[in-house]
Structure formats: C-alpha cells, structure tokens
A = this chain, B = another copy of it.
Amino acid sequence: MHDGILTIDLDAIVANWRQLAARVAPSVCAAVVKANAYGLGMVPVSQALWRAGCANFFVATTDEGLLLREALPQARIVVLGGVRPGREQGFVEAGLWPSLFSLDAIERWLVATAASGTSAPCVINLNSGMTRLGMSPQELQRFIESADAERLDVKIFMSHLACADEPGHPLNQQQLTQYSQLVPAVKARWPEVVLSFANSSGIFLGQEFHFDLARPGAAMYGVNPTPALPNPMRPVVSLRLPVIQYRTITEPSWVGYSATVQVQAGQRLAVVLGGYADGLLRRLSNRGEGELAGHRVPIIGRVSMDATIFDVSAIPEAQLPPIGEAWVDMLSPVLDVNLVAEHMNTIGYEVLTNLGSRYHRNYVGGAS
C-alpha cells in the first residue's frame, strides 16, 4: 500500500536504446545515465542496458562513476564532469575515464597515472561552440603538438552540441565543422581514438553527425529528441498519486494557498497526496492536469508541498472510484513527459530529474 507510485518501464528504455542504436549503426551507441539516469535509477537502468548489449556509459560526477562501477565491473564509464584535484586515485582504481577539458586537468591526470604506473586513459572534450565545458581548438592543437601528448591515452574524442533539437539552427553545422577540423590531427596522434559527437537530438540530424559513438540520454527516457515532429520514442515512466479526499462544494469557496481561484456549489474536487516536494513544480498551479478514471482533470489552485487539488466536476459522481482505489495519473502514455514539460514551461529533462524521492519506484521488464 504505497503512496505515489513511479513505474519505470525498463523494456521501453531498452527498446528506445535499440531504436537509437539502429539509427546510428554501424556507429556504436552509448548510454548517458548521469543524474541517476535522469532520475529513473542509474543502477537498474544501466544493468538493463548492459544486458541489452550497451557497453559504454556516461555519468556526470565521480560519485556516480564509482557507484556504476560497482554495478557494472566491465563497462566503459566516462565521467563527464572530469576528475577534480585529489580524486585521481579513485579514477585509477575504479577504471573510470575522466573527460578532460583543460591543459591543467590533463597535466594532473598524467601525473596521477604515472605515479600509479598505469596508462592515462581518458576522454578529450572539445569546445566546438557551446562554450560550456571543453578545450578550445587552439589549446587542443597546441597540446597535440606537445611532448606530453604521447603519454596521454585518449580513448574518446568528444564534443557536445548546443542546439541539436533545432535542426535548422546554424550552430549545428558550425559545431560540426569545428569538430571535424580537429579530427585529422587527433587521429594522427591517437590512431585508435573513438569519435563521439551526437547526443539524442544529434542522432536525428543525419549521419554526418554520428561519427563512431553516439551518446543519447533524454531520448532513451522518452523525451522527444525532435520537438518539432511527433515523438519517435516509447514512453518510459508513469506516475500515479492516490486520492486522499473528495469534496463536493456547497457554497462559493476559495481553493488552495493564496486563494487564487474560486469554486461554486456543485463542483467536485479531489486532493491527491503529492506536490511540489515530489516534483510537481509549482508552475503546474492552475495549469497542469491528471487523469482519473479515464477522464482528464485539471489542477485547480496552487500546487502545495505534499498535496495537489484537481477539479473532477466533469466526472459523474458514480464513476469516482472510492478512496483507496482512486489514483490520479500524472505521467502516462497520454500525459507524457513532453506534455507535462509544456505545462511546466520547461523541457522533459527537467520533469524527469525533479521526480521526487518519496515515490515507490516500481521497475518492470529489463530482463533481456
């Protein structure tokens, strides 16, 4: 008898990954499982993908890398946030590959690995135009020509797209050109290097964006990688919250914090256990919707920390399931993560990463 129930369809994640892998073949398809697999559970998600044949994983932080290493002793694991000073030894021991994006970081990594008597396996991240993480082209060019370059064991040469979800954006082609210009020098210095450029949306920009290794994240989890077109991905998450009170209004009444909306006699409300502490951001106040007994029902009033109110007047009273059997679906095949993101005025990614810790997480599938 749980309260909110978040169901994660591992088979759908695997099917989405396979679809993406087929799109990029013969290139290889990795999986981005950072931020606890976008809130869905890094370990069960990664284990299901590993069983499906995925061998390359990307996380954001050292702690994520160390946790994933325990779950997948043989996987290739890249830590996109790099290796911070003082944590190099943990990378060496766990066989994590840091993404390196400055000469300082490269120097530290060379010193740490030399002290361990190991090679210096790593990923080089190029800033091709997003201006977030990444070495500048000039910096990388100078490094390639330096004596230190020979000692560095560059496994992957990557860059990241800023506007891949807008196929017509000129920055896509500019980033592709910038990245491609560095490829010959990189391959000349590290002939075995794997080239990695495309994120989820980048996969849909065409084959010239695929290179050797694609890095989808969001699309695996059901976020539409092509926002202007129908979503080619399967939905992955569903979320149900229990109704804990019905109320039939008997006189004009204000609803919720700050009394933002009034209801009239005869209207019926349902209160569910679950609010913005569970990731139903306050922006859903008087905007979002749920599904109850097959009807779409609007959120009425402010979302509060632990409770959300719905106007269920459109449902005939006889059709309202009794307390204990009544659930409002907040994420479902109909109310998918992309639609909820519109209601929240954000992107599907943020809907997922905000999913709260009070839900019972129910995993289905994933055995393949």
Contacts and interface: CB of A to CB of B under 8 A. Distances in A.
A250 B139 CA distance: 12
A34 B254 contact: no
A1 interface: yes
B85 A323 contact: yes
A244 B60 contact: no
Contact of A171 (B81, B166, B259, B347): B259
A331 to B, nearest CB: 18
Interface stretch (A21-29, A68-76, A114-122, A126-134): A126-134
Nearest to A304: B132
Interface string A129-143: 111110010100000
B253 A129 contact: yes
A130 B62 CA distance: 46
Given A1-B84, A307-B132, A254 B36 contact: no
Count this chain's copies in the assembly. 2
A57 to B, nearest CB: 15
A30 interface: no
A283 B281 CA distance: 12
A294 interface: no
Interface stretch (A12-20, A48-56, A147-155, A268-276): A268-276
A353 B255 contact: no
A258 interface: yes
A276 B281 CA distance: 13
Interface string A336-355: 00000000001101100110
A256 interface: yes
Given A84-B3, A163-B259, A259-B169, A273 B61 contact: yes
A131 B84 contact: no
A207 interface: no
Sort A-B residue pairs by CB-CB distance and give the 4 closest, nearest first: A85-B324, A35-B277, A60-B306, A277-B353
Given A102-B323, A169-B259, A283-B346, 8 more contacts: A1-B85, A60-B277, A84-B273, A129-B254, A132-B255, A132-B271, A132-B304, A133-B307
